[in-house]
Amino acid sequence: MALALALSACGTGEQSGNGGPGRIAYQTTRYGALDIVAIDASGRNFKRLTTHLGDDGWPTWSPDTLHIAFQSDRAPTTRFQIYVMNSDGSNVTRLTYDTSTDIMPAWSPDGSKIAFVSKRDGNGEIYVMDANGQNQQRLTTSPGEDGQPAWSPDGSKIAFVTDREGNSEIYVMNAADGTGLVNLTNNPGTDWGPAWSRDGTKIAFYSNREIDFAIWVMNSDGSNPVRLTDPAIQAGLPDWSADNTRIAYEQDGDLWVMNVDGSHKVRITVGPAIVDGVPRWRPIQ
């Protein structure tokens, strides 16, 4: 699931609407390979952050907003590894040096840790490491694929996606050691992309349990799932604004923003033949 961009700020189109205050980092195919860019939710102040020939994606902001971690297959390796850069794109530093694949970084709320997915054990498992890449620790052990880690706002839990039961479900575990596993979704459909609300009471996700992938939100214990977008139009990878009032998501090749109740949907990027996706709100408004 990914999306597209062409805005007046970039000289290649017109913005479709104003998504309000805040800033969003995301990945785009605007320049051919995947790159990470950032834009205000208003559709203004577009900035390209990576310019490498490799694929750079899955951005995650540090809590102080000074840095962005991301995955990249840039040389000298052709396998994805975890990198970090300043939030303006400068000073790119590699964090993982595994011979396998390391992807999907997620910064902890206190800034001290980064969760990520590694295939170093033959299948995708959730790991955590210090923010400088040191002290890597494996949290999950499953014959299935585990991925898409997301920290709870208090740092005590990590939600993630796993197919250990035969289809993709959203689980939660203790962030310290991977214990306390709970299946939150328990649905025969495919459930992906968990994102905690800033107050920790809700988790947004996307699911094809009705026709096609749509954005849903549930209580953080998995109860009361509510669909927010049209299930006839593919949508995915939601993320909450810093003020907890809006959700960004990818739909049909573009980035969209809506209120947390699903109202006032606004497309903030527009671009035929361009795919934008994985929107990540800057944690400070």
pLDDT in tens, 8-23: 233 333 346 788 889 9
| Beta-bridge mates of residue 67 | 86
Instruction: Take residue 242 and report the two structure tokens written for it.
Output: 């810093």
Residue 214 to residues 41, 145, 149, Cα–Cα distance (Å): 21, 22, 19
Q: How many residues in total does the chain contain?
A: 285
Distance CA 176, CA 102 (A): 20
Q: Output the pLDDT for position 273.
A: 74
Report the DSSP pairing between strands 3-4 and 253-259: parallel
Instruction: Answer left, alpha or beta for residue 148, where phi above 0 means left and psi between -120 and 50 means alpha.
Output: left
Q: pLDDT tens digit string along 35-75?
A: 999 999 999 999 999 999 899 999 999 999 999 999 999 97
> Which pTM was predicted?
0.92
Cα–Cα distance for residue pair 67/88, rounded to 1 Å: 8
Angle 263-204-195 (CA atoms, 0-180°, nearest 5)? 130
Q: What whole-number distance in Å separates Cα of residue 229 and Cα of residue 110?
A: 32
At 152-166, the pLDDT tens digits run: 999 999 999 999 989
pLDDT at 7 over 70: no
Q: Of 38, 87, 19, 26, whose CA–CA distance to 237 is shortest?
A: 26
Name the token pair of 82: 């975890």
Q: Cis omega (within 30 of 0) on the bond before 76?
A: yes
For each of the domains in the chain, give its residue range(s) and CATH number, in order of start: 3-281 (2.120.10.30)
* CA dist., res. 44 & res. 221, Å (int): 37
**pLDDT attached to residue 263:** 96
- What pLDDT does residue 54 have? 92
pLDDT of residue 169: 98
pLDDT tens-digit readout, 179-209: 999 999 999 999 999 999 999 999 999 999 9
Q: Residue 284 gets which letter from DSSP? A: -
pLDDT at 16: 60
Separation in Å, CA 219 to CA 183, 197, 263: 13, 10, 19
